[in-house]
Structure formats: C-alpha cells, structure tokens
Structure 1
Amino acid sequence: MINSGRQLGTSRFKPKEEEGKKGAWMLTFTDLVSLMLTFFVMLFSMSTVQIDKWDAITDSLSTTLNPNKVEAVATATADFNISTVFRQRAINLEYLQAVLEEKVEKDEVLGRSMIQLLDDRLLISLPGDLLFTRGSKTLSTRATDSMLKIGDVLRHVSNQVVITGHTDPQPATGSDYASNWELSLFRAIAVGNALRKSGFSQEFLAYGYGDSGYDQLPAIPEEKKQALARRVDIMVLQTGVLK
C-alpha cells in the first residue's frame, strides 16, 4: 500500500514538470523577437531622417511627456507694438469741410477745386493746370500762395493726410523725369512741401499714380477728361496720425 502510494504521488506531479519543459521555448522566442526588434530599430536609426519632421515629433513627445513644463513667454522686440501705438485725436471731417470751403471760396486757384466728403475721407481735388505749367513739376507762385491757405487750416488738425498726383495719358516730355508716374509723384511732393511752408508739420504720405486712373473717370468730352486727369488730390482721413 505504501509503495503504491508513492507511485501515485509520482504520477500526480509528472504532468506539471513536462508542461514546464514544453513552455521553455517561449523564452527563446521572446529573445529572438527582441533581437529582431533591436535590429530593425538600428536600421531605422541609420537611415536618413527628415529633420523638420523629427523635430516636430520630439516637440510633440516633449509636450506630451512633460505637461507641467512652463513655456517661455515671448516678449515684444519691435519698437512699436499694439500697446505702445497711439493715434492723435482726429477732427470731424464735416466741420473741416465747412472751414475749407469758406477759406478757398474766393481764391483764384482753390475756388475751382473740388471738395468732397466721402465715407472715410475728405477729398480736395486741385486742378493741375492751375498749379503747374504744362509738363512741369514746380508749383507756380500763384499756386504756392494758394497752398498756404490750405496749409493754414490743416496745420491745426491731427488727421492723417495723403497726397496723390495724377496725369493724363500723354507721354511725359520733361527732362527731369522719365514717365508720367514720376511726374505725378513729383507734383504730389511739391504740394506737400508747399503745405509745410504754412506751418503744416505733420508727416504726410505722397503717392504718384500717373495715368493709371484715367479709365475710371466719367464719360465726358476728351479735352475735359484729360484736364480732370491732370490733378493733385489731398485726402484728409478720418483717423489721426500716429504719436
């Protein structure tokens, strides 16, 4: 009975020992898979990696793995930013229009100018034929005196002023410029300099458009249309100049 019990006990634990021997191959297989994975990682690391994509991946992982990392706050490096830029208070354009119309009503040159109040600006269109001789970029003495009257009004306002010169389509013939664009720009600058002589000290913007806007003029007789094209516009904007 005793011998029989020992035999039964031996036969009871024998299947577990065999099961352990059968599962040993898993260790070898795991090592093989790990070595193959390491091999492919090494191949990948030796290949060419796109730097920009790699940086994007590393940044994304850094942010994900380090959520408590405090990012540096960018500071403004420009001389002007939204917190330091201020505009001076602009004057009402309707009031300015009334003052200008009264000022230029009896002037020989400015009396023939056109003053219009548009949505965002006051437009003063000066006839170029009364300001300059044909093809010239220099203001006449009569026109200079007239500019002093406008400048005497504008020097008291803080609105942004833009001066634009225009010409007709006829080819430029002056010796001091090579195109209608140059002539129109020189005339805009000449008007701006004449305003400065009256005490107008603000910065103004000057542009030359040449004959680029000729096709947008109304359908009127050609002679009058070309005369209208030869003009200098003073635009007083509803916004103030920067401090």
Structure 2
Amino acid sequence: MPKPEKANVAWMVTFTDLVSLMLTFFVLLFSMSSLQIDKWEEMTDTLSKTLNPSSVKTVAAATAEFNISTLIRRPATNLDYLSGVLQAGVKQDPLLAKSQIMLLEDRLVIALPGDLLFSPGKAVMPEETRSALFTLGGLLSNVSNQIAVNGHTDPKAPGPDAGFTSNWELSMARASAVANSLRQAGYTDDIFAFGYADSRYQQLPKLNEAERAAMGRRVDIIILPSVGDN
C-alpha cells in the first residue's frame, strides 16, 4: 500500500507573513491619524452603559421658578389685631401720633395728614417725615396683607410753582412717595398707589372749610384682609 503524501504547509508561512504586514500597516495608519476625543468618549460611554447597565436612574432637578417651598406663604394678619399693634406703635412717633387709624368692615385705614407729610403743592418729603414713615414701614414689614396707598387733595388747584398741572398728578405723586417709603422700610409685597385728587372731597364731614380742606389733603394707607402679591 502506498504511503500518503504529506500536506504542503509552506503556504501558511506566506499567509502569516501577509497578515502580519497588513496588521503592521493598519497600526501605522492609526498612529498617524488624529483621534477625535469627543467621539471616542461618546463611543466608550455608550459601550460602557450597554455592557454595564445600572439600576440607578438619575432625575433632573426642578428648574421651575415656583415650587412647593416658594408657594407656601404667611397668612394675612387679622385686621383687628393689627389695628391694636399699629395704635400702640404710632404713639411712639410725634408725627405718626397725629394720624388716624380706622378699622372698617373690610379694611384698615391709616389716614396721614398731608400737611404733615409734604409742603403745599409738593410731593417730596422732608427727612423727618421719611423717618416717621420708616417707623411705620417697620411695623408693616412683618405682615403679608395687601396694601394700597391713596392720595387725596382739596379742590384748590396746584400753584404755578408746585410742579404739577393738576391735583390728579399731585395726589398720585404723593401716594407713590409714601408707597416707596414703605417699600424701603421693609414691606416686600407689591403696593398699589392711586391718586384721587379731590374726587372724594364731598364725602368728608361737614366741618369748617379750613379743617375740611386740611382733611382733604391726606394720604390713606389701606390694609386689606387678603394676602398681597409678591
């Protein structure tokens, strides 16, 4: 029986050399190329998440302007209680002691005589007046009730040196000046300012004309039983 011929494996040597040369060639090309780091990290991160899944899921933090903590606000202060606090507080200041505090059915009114706050026809307060309003603002800084400031005048038109062409402008400017002082003193909610000129003058008590005109030149601070806007 003839002996089988041995297989010729010389071609495997040539094939191995060819594969080695090709591998060397690709390694050389890779070493000469510039690797884009961001794409490489993106690819490795994707592979990592795929091969090593995690049971922990991250939740994005809330980015809304309002959340539960910011929507929790202090309730409005009882007007009957607040009236007693203000009555005791204004007595400590000589100017505020001349104001009138009235507790009505749906509001608390602090009537400030305009002649004590401003010079005739003016809406700029002297330092003494500003100091008194800062005291009042300090008393109101801890309440969250809605506050409005109403400016009033007597029927006499502003003089030529007043800087205002009408009582509407004068009363609005005075209301704004008082509102700004309260804000600067620490009241943080919105304050509504209104100018009524002499539109409510006829509602005043029938006093002698001088007293009635002086009462007409007033600024009312209105405190409502509801919470103000922040």
Structure 1 residues 9-41: Cα deviation after superposition (integer angstroms, max 9, x where no partner): xxxxxxxxxxxxxxxxxxxxxxxxxxxxxxxxx
Establish whether residue 230 from structure 1 lines up as the match of residue 217 from structure 2. Answer: yes
Establish whether residue 212 from structure 1 lines up as the match of residue 199 from structure 2. Answer: yes
* TM-score, normalising length: structure 2: 0.66
Match of 2:87 in 1: 101
* TM-score, normalising length: structure 1: 0.63
The CA distance in 1 between the partners of 2:103 and 2:156, in whole Å, is: 30
147, 150, 168: which one aligns with 2:133: 147
How does 1:1-243 map onto structure 2 within 5 Å? 89-173=75-159, 174-242=161-229
The CA distance in 2 between the partners of 1:97 and 1:143, in whole Å, is: 22
Do 1:86 and 1:242's aligned partners in 2 also have CA atoms closer than 8 Å? no
SS in 2 for 1:102: helix
The CA distance in 2 between the partners of 1:177 and 1:159, in whole Å, is: 32
Q: Which runs of 4+ in 1 moved over 2 A?
A: 85-88
Do 1:160 and 1:237's aligned partners in 2 also have CA atoms closer than 8 Å? yes
The aligned amino acid for 2:129 is A
Structure 1 residues 117-141: Cα deviation after superposition (integer angstroms, max 9, x where no partner): 0001100000000000111110121
What fraction of aligned residue pairs are identical, expressed as a percent? 43
The CA distance in 2 between the partners of 1:208 and 1:222, in whole Å, is: 22
Structure 1 residues 97-131: Cα deviation after superposition (integer angstroms, max 9, x where no partner): 11111111131111010001000110000000000
1:115–1:197 CA distance, 2 compared to 1 (3 A): same
1:175: how far off?
4.5
The CA distance in 2 between the partners of 1:186 and 1:88, in whole Å, is: 31
Do 1:87 and 1:241's aligned partners in 2 also have CA atoms closer than 8 Å? no
1:99–1:176 CA distance, 2 compared to 1 (3 A): same
The CA distance in 1 between the partners of 2:77 and 2:156, in whole Å, is: 39
* Worse-superposed segment, 159-168 or 102-111: 102-111
SS in 2 for 1:176: coil
1:198: how far off?
1.2
SS in 2 for 1:185: helix
SS in 2 for 1:90: coil
Do 1:183 and 1:210's aligned partners in 2 also have CA atoms closer than 8 Å? yes
1:154: how far off?
0.9
1:220–1:87 CA distance, 2 compared to 1 (3 A): farther
The aligned amino acid for 2:143 is V
Structure 1 residues 208-230: Cα deviation after superposition (integer angstroms, max 9, x where no partner): 00011111111000000000000
**Which runs of 5 or more structure 1 residues have no equivalent in the other structure?**
1-84
The aligned amino acid for 1:206 is A
**Which runs of 5 or more structure 2 residues have no equivalent in the other structure?**
1-70
SS in 2 for 1:205: strand
SS in 2 for 1:186: helix
Do 1:88 and 1:241's aligned partners in 2 also have CA atoms closer than 8 Å? no
Do 1:88 and 1:242's aligned partners in 2 also have CA atoms closer than 8 Å? no
